[in-house]
C-alpha cells in the first residue's frame, strides 16, 4: 500500500451502496484495473466447509441491493447455493487499494431469466456452458476438446440452445462494506447495513475501525 491511493470521504458517501460501487468500478476501469468485474464468491458446502472461487459480476441494481452472477446449477457452487442460499462477494482493485465486501442471501432466478441471460453470452461462453460437467475429474485434455467440438456443432445447428442448469443468481445484500487503503495505514472502512426489506431497501452507514 506504499503508493499514492485515492482518498475516500465517508461523509460524502451516498445514502445507498449502489452509486458508490458504480463510481468505484468506473474509477477501476479508468485506472486500468484488469478484469475489474471479477469477484470472489464464497459459499459453504453441506458440511459447513467454506469454498471460494472467482466469477464475473453480471449486474448490480441501482441501490446496490441485488448483485447478479450466473453459474451452472450442477457445479459445486450451484449445489452449495441450493443447499445453503447465502454467500459473500469480494472485489479487490489493487491499483486503487480498494476492496468491496458484500454479504447476503442468494436467490436463483426463473429459468426464463436464465435463458434470456444465456443468449447475451459470447459463443465461446455458451459452448463452454453447453459442455457442462464443470469441476468433474477430466481424464485428458483431448476429451475436453472433443466435447467442445460437439457443443460447437450443436450451437451451430441450434443457435437458441440453452445449457441445462444454466442459472442466474441474485445475492440480496444485507451488508456492503467499502474499504479504502491508505499509504499511512489510515484505512477508511464504511459499512452499509440494509434495514428495510429487499424490494424497498433502506440503508444505515457505519464507520469501522481499520
Ligand atoms: C477471472 C475469472 C473469471 C471467472 N468467471 C467465471 C464465471 O463467470 N462463471 C464460472 O462458472 N466460472 C468462472 N471462473 C472459474 C471459477 O473460478 C471456477 O473455477 C469454476 O466456476 C468452478 O467452480 P466450482 O467448482 O466452485 O463450482 C472464472 C475464473 C476466473 C479466474
Does residue 36 fall inside a structural domain?
Answer: yes
The predicted pLDDT at position 1 comes to: 77
Q: Which atom of ligand 1 is nearest to the CA of 71?
A: 11
Tell the residue nearest (CA) to atom 7 of ligand 1: 55
Residue-wise pLDDT for 42-80, tens only, equals: 999 999 999 999 999 999 999 999 999 999 999 999 999
Could you tell me the CATH number of the domain that includes residue 15? Answer: 2.30.110.10
Number of domains in the chain: 1
Judge whether residue 3 has pLDDT over 90: no
Mean pLDDT of all residues in the chain? 96
- Give the torsion sign (CA, 135, 141, 146, 150): positive
Q: Whose CA is nearest to atom 31 of ligand 1?
A: 54
Q: List the domain range (segments joined by +) for residue 76.
A: 10-208
Q: How far is the CA of 177 from the centre of ligand 1 (A)?
A: 23
Q: Inter-axis angle of helices 123-131 and 141-157, to 10 degrees?
A: 120
Q: What is the pLDDT of residue 161?
A: 96
Does residue 144 lie in a domain region? yes
Q: Can you give the pLDDT at residue 54? A: 98
75-133 per-position pLDDT tens digit: 999 999 999 999 999 999 999 999 999 999 999 999 999 999 999 999 999 999 999 99
Report whether residue 42 contacts ligand 1, using a CB cutoff of 6 Å.
no
Handedness of CA 120, 76, 66, 164 (dihedral sign): positive
In a domain, 30, yes or no: yes
Q: How far apart (Å, rounded) are the C-alpha atoms in residues 66 and 175?
A: 11
Q: Strand 66-72 relative to strand 86-93: parallel, antiparallel, unpaired?
A: unpaired
Contacts of 21 (CB under 8 A, 6+ apart): 60, 64, 100, 176, 178
Mutate to test the pocket of ligand 1, among 40, 44, 56, 128 (most ligand atoms within 8 A of CB): 56
User: Is 3 among the domain residues?
Assistant: no
Q: What pLDDT sits at residue 121? A: 95
Ligand 1 and 71: CB distance under 6 A: yes
Domain assignment present for 194: yes
Q: 1 lies in a domain?
A: no
According to the model, what pLDDT value does residue 2 have? 76
Amino acid at each position: 500500500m506504499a503508493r499514492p491511493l485515492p482518498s475516500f470521504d465517508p461523509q460524502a458517501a451516498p445514502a445507498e451502496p449502489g452509486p458508490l460501487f458504480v463510481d468505484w468500478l468506473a474509477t477501476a476501469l479508468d485506472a486500468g484495473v484488469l478484469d475489474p468485474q471479477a469477484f470472489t464468491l464464497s459459499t459453504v458446502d453441506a458440511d459447513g466447509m467454506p469454498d471460494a472461487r472467482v466469477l464475473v459480476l453480471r449486474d448490480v441494481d441501482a441501490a446496490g441491493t441485488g448483485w447478479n452472477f450466473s453459474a451452472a446449477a450442477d457445479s459445486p457452487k450451484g449445489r452449495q447455493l441450493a443447499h445453503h442460499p447465502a454467500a459473500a462477494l469480494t472485489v479487490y482493485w489493487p491499483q486503487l487499494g480498494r476492496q468491496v465486501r458484500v454479504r447476503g442471501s442468494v436467490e436463483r432466478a426463473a429459468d426464463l431469466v436464465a435463458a434470456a441471460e444465456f443468449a447475451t453470452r459470447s459463443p465461446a461462453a455458451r459452448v463452454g456452458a453447453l459442455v457442462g460437467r464443470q469441476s468433474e475429474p477430466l481424464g485428458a485434455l483431448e476429451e475436453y476438446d472433443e466435447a467442445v467440438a460437439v457443443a460447437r456443432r450443436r450451437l451451430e445447428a441450434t443457435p437458441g440452445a440453452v445449457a441445462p442448469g444454466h442459472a442466474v443468481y441474485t445475492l440480496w445484500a444485507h451488508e456492503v462494506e467499502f474499504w479504502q487503503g491508505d499509504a499511512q495505514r489510515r484505512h477508511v472502512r464504511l459499512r452499509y447495513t440494509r434495514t428495510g426489506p429487499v424490494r424497498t431497501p433502506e440503508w444505515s452507514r457505519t464507520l469501522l475501525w481499520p
